[in-house]
Chains A and B, each alone.
Chain A
Amino acid sequence: MLTYLGKRLLLAIPTLVVVSFVTFFLGFLAPGSPIDLLMGQHGDPNVRRRLEHQYGLDLPPLQQYRRFLINAVRGNLGYSFANGERPVSQMIAEQFPTTALLACLAICTAMLLGLPAGLIAAIRHNGLPDRLVMSGVLLLVSTPPFVLAPLLMLLLALRLEWLPSSGWEGPQYWVMPVLVLAARPAALMARLMRSSMLDVLRQDYIRTAHAKGLTSGQVIRRHALKNAFLPVLTVVGNSFGYLLTGSFVVETIFGIPGIGYESVHSILARDYPVIQAVALLVATIFITVNLIVDLLYALVDPRVRYEAAR
């Protein structure tokens, strides 16, 4: 188990370095210097030199990258160009909890909705529940958050006036953003849960369990469920990537003060230090979550552990 953990950790580091390298040097591809933005109408070359020096932009690119990496490891992610030169790490520390809460609520909602739906569809294979669930899955997979969000807003906030339409001040504000974010992961989980369950139900040991006289409920609870759930774990991990990107859209629509909202603003304002930091943060979270999922997988399924240890 420890060997496996060590291997996976070691593999995560080069991936992170590649991601940081790419996001850092993407900034160099951008047309125009960020200093131009900062200077506005000023043309004073002295001011420009001072600013360039302050942001380390007068160094050779590789040295800038090294500085960026070393500072990032120390928790210093640079200073925002647009936001009165505030430290980026401070901005992230303020906004990240909101996004994290949103993402966690969404993933829990998705699991609560998606897993039972997929299970019912598998048990009633080709029956009405199966058809309903599968149609729902296709519908939700095809409806992007920026369509679902305004539609919900129109219905629940403007017409029925059950919920506030935007803001982030209490649990009643959480409902719509969480539902919108959870829709696609829930659909994907339901689809995978269904096909995984169908696979398991075809196995010999399930027939054996039936043959020795267990009821269907017992067979599913004791024998099928655990094995069917395993592949779904991967989707749960991958959903985090979607949730982080989805938060860009959802936070913008609902006016939620999180990382996504900030990122969209930074992208529109070309605030590179913030964009780079967000990219690095998202990649780190995504890699970490997938690492945890893989470890859980190895923990639950001895076959994976055995494969990896060799």
Chain B
Amino acid sequence: MTADAMHAHSARERSAVQRLLRNPAAVVSASVIAAMVIGAALAPWLAGYSYDAVDRANVLSGPMAGHLLGTDNQGQDIWARLLFGARVSLAIGIIVEAIEVIIGVSLGLLAAYRGGLWDTLLMRVTDAMFAFPDLLFAILLVGILRPTSPFAGFLTVFVALALVNWPSMARIVRGQALALREKEFVEAARAIGVPDRQIILRHLLPNLLSPILVAATVDIANVVLAEATLSFLGIGIQPPYPSWGRMISDSLPYLRSAPMLLVYPAAALAMLVLSFNFLGDALRDALDPRLRR
């Protein structure tokens, strides 16, 4: 990249950040996400209890001294379980999304740039994956494998969700890369003999960053929801480790007597997912003002 192009690039980024900061929804949702990330990271220190600590003297208590949000039906501190649950949601959301981006971007670029057999292969495989409701595939995969150890349980959820979600990312990258490949600057680079690898890394990838970032942000919301669904159905994260989805399903028998057992994890989950959705929309507006409507 020449100095001029570099300058133009950073100027564009700066104005995108400025546009993002002027959008109140973006600022609020980014703050919510940041707060949850901090809460999740510092969970052992902020919680006051371990996620599986049981207080038999106080079962289903409302908020009280020592239990900020009260306790659940087993006498576990709800605030502590919310914080440790945030760890599960965020870790799965971010790590699965990272795996997905790596797989989706490399396969999408490969298919778009090499074309031919690679492209046909990618399109047929993704077609087959799209022919199946994605969450159902994850449910079946996790449901059939039903790992026994907690670690294998985490791993299965990660793998199932990543396996199910990468095709849409690959399709997005492929489509964008196909359009870019025809642009003059790529043709010019090819004409002066720039090797393929450099064209992909220096010319295609930087221009693909914004659509990838937008798609990934919105997609994290879907991954978080998918994990919560698996855990809600009893086949995701296994107790004693808390997950918001599991907390919601555990709360259902106490819906009448202790509705707050439902409200806390439900609100936390909805807030996190909403924030990622809002942030994704705001990023799209900020990074590509032409798309703004």
Contact = CB atoms under 8 A, between A and B. Distances in A.
Contacts of B234: 264, 268
Contacts of B134: 241
A198 interface: yes
Contact of A275 (B140, B148, B269, B277): B140
Interface stretch (A68-76, A94-102, A173-181, A243-251): A243-251
Nearest to B267: A147
Interface in B235-293: 235, 245, 248-249, 251-252, 255-256, 259, 262, 266, 269-270, 273-274, 277-278, 281, 293
Given A26-B140, A138-B278, A249 B233 contact: yes
Given A27-B144, A144-B229, A158-B255, A150 B128 contact: no
Interface of B is mostly: helix
Q: How large is the interface on A (under 10, 10 to 19, 20 to 34, 35 or more residues)?
A: 35 or more
Nearest to A241: B133
A146 B248 CA distance: 8
B249 A146 contact: yes
A244 B232 CA distance: 17
Contacts of B262: 150-151, 154
Interface string B21-34: 00000000000000
A264 B233 contact: yes
Contacts of B278: 138
Interface string A1-34: 0000000000000010011000100110111000
A60 B66 CA distance: 60
A287 B233 contact: no
A249 B229 contact: yes
Contacts of A146: 228-229, 232, 245, 248-249
Contacts, number: 116
Interface string A267-304: 11010100100010011001100100000000000000
B140 A287 contact: no
B255 A153 contact: yes
A195 interface: yes
A119 to B, nearest CB: 15
Contacts of A141: 277
Q: Give the dominant DSSP class at A's interface.
A: helix
Nearest to B29: A138
Given A146-B245, A279-B136, 8 more contacts: A29-B145, A144-B225, A144-B228, A146-B249, A150-B262, A151-B262, A154-B259, A154-B262
Interface of A: 15, 18-19, 23, 26-27, 29-31, 125, 138-139, 141-144, 146-147, 150-151, 153-154, 158, 195, 198, 241-242, 244-245, 248-249, 252-253, 264, 267-268, 270, 272, 275, 279, 282-283, 286-287, 290
18 contacts: A19-B128, A27-B144, A30-B146, A125-B293, A146-B248, A147-B248, A147-B270, A153-B255, A154-B259, A198-B293, A241-B134, A249-B232, A264-B234, A267-B140, A267-B144, A267-B233, A279-B140, A286-B132
